[in-house]
C-alpha cells in the first residue's frame, strides 16, 4: 500500500506541476488514446501499480486542465492545496457520513463548518445546511423543502400523499433561469413548462415591475449570479413582496452566493439573505474538488420533513439530527472534509480575497479586450465576462481558435440573441500573470481572424 500511494503521489505531483505549461484542452491524440482505457475486462487480477500506471499514462494527458490557472470555461473552480490533501485523507478514511453512528469524525467536520458558512454568508444561525453533490442537487433539495412547506399549509403531506390530487402550487422563475433549476422542478413533479416566467433586463435580472401577483401557494426562484453575466436578481424587492404574500423564495446562488463573503461585493447580493432557501456550489468558487454543493434552508423542519426517511421527521431535534435527514442521499462520502479544509486554510480574509481577486481579474479581462477594440456585452461586476468579436461567425471562430491555441480555454454562449465568448474567473490558481498571458492569446487569435474574415 505504501509503495502504491507513494508512486501515486509522485504521479499526481508531476501532473499538477505540468499544468503550468501544458495546453489546457487535451490534444486530439490524447483523446484518441483513451480507447486504451477500454477494451475487454481482464480475466485475471492485475497489480495495482500497473492499474495506476495505465490510468496515468492514458488518463492524465486527456484531462482538461481545470485544476490549472488558465481554464475559464463554464464556472469552474480549482482545488485549493489543503482541499486536495484533505480529499486524499478522506479517501484513506473511507467514511460513511450519513449517520453519526457510522462516522463521528465525518459528521463533526460538517457540523464544525456550518457556523462558519452561515457566518461568512450572513445567513441566520438557525439555518439548516445539507452537503450535496452540487448546485443542481442543492436546488432540488431546497425546492423539495419549499414544495413540502407550501402543500403542508393545506394539510397535504406531499411526501406521504404524493402530487396526484394535491392542491395547485405556482412556480415563478426569471426568463434567465438556469437549466439545472428547471431540471430540479421537473424531477420534483412541478414541471419545467408550467412555470410563470418573468421578463429580464439587459443583464438578465428579473424585472420586478413585471412580476406576477404572489400568494402563499407560490414558490419564487431567483438567481444570485447569472451563469453568463454574473448578474443578481433584485432579491431585496422580491423577498419583501414574497414575505408579505407568504410565498417561498429559493435562491440559485451556485457561485454568486459567495459574493456575500466579500465585503467589496456583498452589496451585489443585497436582500439575498432574506430568502427561505439557497443553493450554492463548493466546487465552483470555494475551490474544493468535485463534487460538492450546499443547500441552506431557513426552516429546518420543512427541509427535514422533505428529506428524512423517518416517519416523524419533525420530532428529530437538531442535536439528534443525522446528515442524511437533510439531503437526498443516505450513504455518501465525507463531503464536508474539503469544505472544512478550504474554510480553515483560507479563513475569513482569504475567502474574501479569493472572491475579490477573481472579480478584479474579470474586470481586467474586460478592460483589456475593450482596449483592443472588442465589445463587452455585460456589466462586469462579478467574475463573468462576455465578449463579442463582431458577428456570430467571427465570435464563434475566435472562441474555437482560442480553444485550439491551448494557452487558455473559454467557452461560447448566446446572450440575448448574440454569440459571445464567456470568460469565468473562478480559480484560486489564476494569477494576474495568467490573466495577461490569456488576454494576449485571445487578442492575438481575434486580431488574426478579424483582420482576415
Ligand atoms: C453551475 C450552476 C448550476 C449547476 O451546478 P452544478 O454544480 O453543475 O450542479 C446551477 N445554477 C447556476 C447559476 C450555476 O452556475
CA 69 to chain centre: 18
* pLDDT for residue 205 is more than 80: yes
pLDDT at 184 (0 to 100): 98
Residue 214 CA, ligand 1 centroid: distance in Å: 26
> Integer distance in angstroms from the first to the last C-alpha of the chain?
58
211-253 residue pLDDT tens: 999 999 999 999 999 999 999 999 999 999 999 999 999 999 9
Ligand 1: does its nearest atom lie under 6 Å from the Cβ of 254? yes
Task: Say yes or no: 113 and 223 in one domain.
Answer: yes
Task: Say yes or no: 308 and 175 in one domain.
Answer: yes
| Residue 269 located in a structural domain | yes
Residue 227 CA, ligand 1 centroid: distance in Å: 8
Long-range contacts of 178-182 (CB under 8 A, 24+ apart): 178/135, 178/223, 178/227, 178/252, 178/254, 180/135, 180/136, 180/139, 180/252, 180/254, 181/139, 181/143, 181/221, 181/252
Ligand 1: does its nearest atom lie under 6 Å from the Cβ of 178? yes
Task: Say yes or no: 102 and 183 in one domain.
Answer: yes
Number of structural domains, the chain? Answer: 2
In degrees rounded to 5, what are phi and psi of residue 297?
A: -145, 125
CA 113 – CA 83 distance, rounded (Å): 14
Q: Beta 418-424 vs 128-132: how paired, if at all?
A: unpaired
Ligand 1: does its nearest atom lie under 6 Å from the Cβ of 203? no
Ligand 1: does its nearest atom lie under 6 Å from the Cβ of 138? no
Ligand 1 atom with the shortest distance to the CA of 255: 15
Ligand 1: does its nearest atom lie under 6 Å from the Cβ of 136? yes
Q: If pLDDT is split at 50, 70 and 90, which confidence band does 91 have?
A: very high
| Residue 415 located in a structural domain | no
Task: Say yes or no: 90 and 197 in one domain.
Answer: yes
Residue 372 CA, ligand 1 centroid: distance in Å: 32
Task: Say yes or no: 274 and 327 in one domain.
Answer: yes
Cell numbers of 320, please? 439528534
Ligand 1: does its nearest atom lie under 6 Å from the Cβ of 135? yes
Residue 151 CA, ligand 1 centroid: distance in Å: 27
Residue 100: CB atoms within 10 A of its CB come to: 16
pLDDT at 118 (0 to 100): 98
Cell numbers of 104, please? 463521528
Residue 314 CA, ligand 1 centroid: distance in Å: 30
Closest to 434 in 3D by CA, of 49, 16, 72: 72
* pLDDT for residue 452 is more than 70: no
pLDDT at 320 (0 to 100): 79
Domain hosting residue 55, numbered range: 2-68
51-65 residue pLDDT tens: 999 999 999 999 999
CA 341 – CA 221 distance, rounded (Å): 31
Alpha carbon distances (Å) from 367 to 176, 253, 392, 418, 446: 26, 26, 21, 20, 15
pTM, full prediction? 0.97
Given the C-alpha cell 410563470, which residue does it identify? 196
pLDDT at 451 (0 to 100): 77
* pLDDT for residue 412 is more than 80: yes
Q: Kind and range of the H or E element at 113?
A: helix 104-121
Which of 73, 74, 132, 134 maximizes ligand 1 atoms within 8 Å of its Cβ, making it the mutation to test the pocket?
Answer: 134
Task: Say yes or no: 59 and 97 in one domain.
Answer: no
| Residue 379 located in a structural domain | no
CA 230 – CA 384 distance, rounded (Å): 5
108-132 residue pLDDT tens: 999 999 999 999 999 999 999 999 9
Cα-atom radius of gyration of the chain, to the nearest Å? 23
Task: Say yes or no: 118 and 63 in one domain.
Answer: no
Residue 229 CA, ligand 1 centroid: distance in Å: 14
CA 383 – CA 424 distance, rounded (Å): 6
Ligand 1 atom with the shortest distance to the CA of 291: 7
Task: Say yes or no: 132 and 26 in one domain.
Answer: no
Ligand 1: does its nearest atom lie under 6 Å from the Cβ of 281? yes
Torsion angle of the four alpha carbons 255, 120, 341, 15, in this order, in degrees rounded to the nearest 10: 30
- Residue ID of nearest Cα to ligand 1 atom 5: 135
| Residue 38 located in a structural domain | yes
| Residue 423 located in a structural domain | no
Residue 281 CA, ligand 1 centroid: distance in Å: 7
Q: Kind and range of the H or E element at 238?
A: helix 235-245
Q: Among 341, 374, 395, give the residue marking a domain's end.
A: 341
Task: Say yes or no: 37 and 96 in one domain.
Answer: no
Q: Residue 233: CA atoms inside 13 Å, Cβ hemisphere, count?
A: 35
Task: Say yes or no: 167 and 312 in one domain.
Answer: yes
Which of 136, 286, 289, 382 maximizes ligand 1 atoms within 8 Å of its Cβ, making it the mutation to test the pocket?
Answer: 136
Question: What CATH number is given to the structural domain containing 315?
Answer: 3.40.640.10
Residue 173 CA, ligand 1 centroid: distance in Å: 16
Residue 255 CA, ligand 1 centroid: distance in Å: 8
Judge contact between 235 and 222, C-beta under 8 A. yes
Residue 452 CA, ligand 1 centroid: distance in Å: 37
Residue 189: CB atoms within 10 A of its CB come to: 13
CA 284 – CA 291 distance, rounded (Å): 9
| Residue 17 located in a structural domain | yes
Torsion angle of the four alpha carbons 292, 296, 301, 307, in this order, in degrees rounded to the nearest 10: -30
Amino acid at each position: 500500500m505504501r509503495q502504491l500511494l507513494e508512486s501515486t503521489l509522485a504521479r499526481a505531483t508531476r501532473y499538477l506541476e505540468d499544468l503550468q505549461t501544458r495546453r489546457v484542452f487535451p490534444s486530439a491524440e490524447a483523446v484518441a488514446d483513451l480507447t486504451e482505457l477500454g477494451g475487454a475486462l481482464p480475466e485475471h487480477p492485475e497489480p495495482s501499480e500497473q492499474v495506476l500506471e495505465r490510468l496515468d499514462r492514458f488518463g492524465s494527458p486527456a484531462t482538461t486542465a481545470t485544476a490549472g490557472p488558465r481554464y475559464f470555461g463554464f464556472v469552474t473552480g480549482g482545488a485549493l492545496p489543503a482541499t486536495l490533501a484533505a480529499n486524499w485523507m478522506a479517501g484513506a478514511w473511507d467514511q460513511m457520513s450519513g449517520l453519526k453512528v457510522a462516522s463521528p469524525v465525518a459528521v463533526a467536520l460538517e457540523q464544525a463548518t456550518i457556523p462558519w458558512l452561515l457566518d461568512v454568508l450572513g445567513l441566520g444561525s438557525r439555518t439548516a445546511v445539507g452537503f450535496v453533490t452540487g448546485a443542481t442537487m442543492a436546488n432540488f433539495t431546497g425546492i423539495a423543502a419549499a414544495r413540502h412547506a407550501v402543500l403542508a399549509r393545506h394539510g397535504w403531506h406531499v411526501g406521504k400523499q404524493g402530487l396526484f390530487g394535491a392542491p395547485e402550487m405556482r412556480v415563478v422563475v426569471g426568463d434567465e433561469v438556469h437549466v439545472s433549476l428547471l431540471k430540479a422542478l421537473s424531477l420534483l413533479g412541478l414541471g419545467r413548462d408550467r412555470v410563470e416566467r418573468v421578463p429580464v433586463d439587459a443583464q438578465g435580472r428579473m424585472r420586478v415591475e413585471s412580476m406576477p401577483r404572489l400568494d402563499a401557494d407560490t414558490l419564487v426562484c431567483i438567481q444570485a449570479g447569472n451563469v453568463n453575466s454574473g448578474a443578481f436578481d433584485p432579491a431585496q424587492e422580491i423577498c419583501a413582496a414574497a414575505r408579505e404574500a407568504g410565498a417561498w423564495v429559493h435562491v440559485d446562488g451556485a457561485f454568486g452566493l459567495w459574493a456575500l463573503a466579500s465585503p467589496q461585493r456583498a452589496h451585489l447580493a443585497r436582500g439575498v439573505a432574506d430568502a427561505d432557501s439557497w443553493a450554492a456550489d463548493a466546487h465552483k468558487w470555494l475551490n474544493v474538488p468535485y463534487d460538492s454543493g450546499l443547500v441552506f434552508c431557513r426552516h429546518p423542519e420543512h427541509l427535514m420533513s422533505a428529506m428524512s426517511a423517518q416517519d416523524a421527521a419533525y420530532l428529530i431535534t437538531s442535536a439528534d439530527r443525522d446528515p442524511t435527514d437533510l439531503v437526498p442521499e443516505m450513504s455518501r462520502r465525507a463531503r464536508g472534509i474539503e469544505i472544512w479544509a478550504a474554510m480553515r486554510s483560507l479563513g475569513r480574509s482569504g475567502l474574501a480575497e479569493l472572491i475579490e481577486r477573481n472579480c478584479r481579474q474579470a474586470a481586467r479581462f474586460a478592460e483589456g479586450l475593450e482596449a483592443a477594440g472588442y465589445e463587452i456585452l455585460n456589466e462586469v461586476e462579478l467574475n463573468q465576462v462576455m465578449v463579442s468579436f463582431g458577428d456570430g461567425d467571427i465570435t464563434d471562430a475566435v472562441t474555437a481558435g482560442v480553444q485550439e491555441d491551448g494557452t487558455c480555454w473559454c467557452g461560447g454562449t448566446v446572450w440575448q440573441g448574440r454569440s459571445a465568448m464567456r470568460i469565468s474567473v473562478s480559480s484560486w490558481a489564476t494569477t494576474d500573470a495568467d490573466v495577461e498571458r490569456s488576454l494576449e492569446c485571445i487578442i492575438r487569435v481575434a486580431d488574426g481572424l478579424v483582420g482576415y474574415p
